Amino acid sequence: MIVRIVKLHFKAEELENFKTYFEKISPQIRNFEGCQHLELLQQADMPEIIYTYSYWDNEEALEKYRYSELFKTFWTVAKSKFAGKPEAWSMNKIAVVEG
């Protein structure tokens, strides 16, 4: 499983617009083949910093999404609201510790 974390820095005046847009498009992303989980997180001390946190079956599923029309549409809208350069990390999930 691939865990994908993307850090997005938004213009303050675009933050609510992005959240509204994400609410509309997130069901399509969650239902994309290979996506197991999707969350939107907001940094506590800097609310204009948003993270997407998602689980993908494998690297191939993530890449299929990243080259899809859905992603292109999402990224075009999101990018227009950025105040800074996005950052992204892909990691292999190796353990879950609960307790």
What's the confidence (pLDDT) of residue 63? Answer: 97
User: Which parts of the chain have pLDDT scores under 50?
Assistant: none
Task: Work out the angle at residue 21's Cα, subtended by the Cα atoms of residues 17 and 27, and round it to the nearest 5 degrees.
Answer: 155
Average pLDDT of the chain to the nearest whole number: 96
What is the pLDDT at residue 53?
98
pLDDT at 98: 84
The CATH class given to the 2-92 domain equals alpha beta
Sign of CA dihedral 95, 22, 59, 35: positive
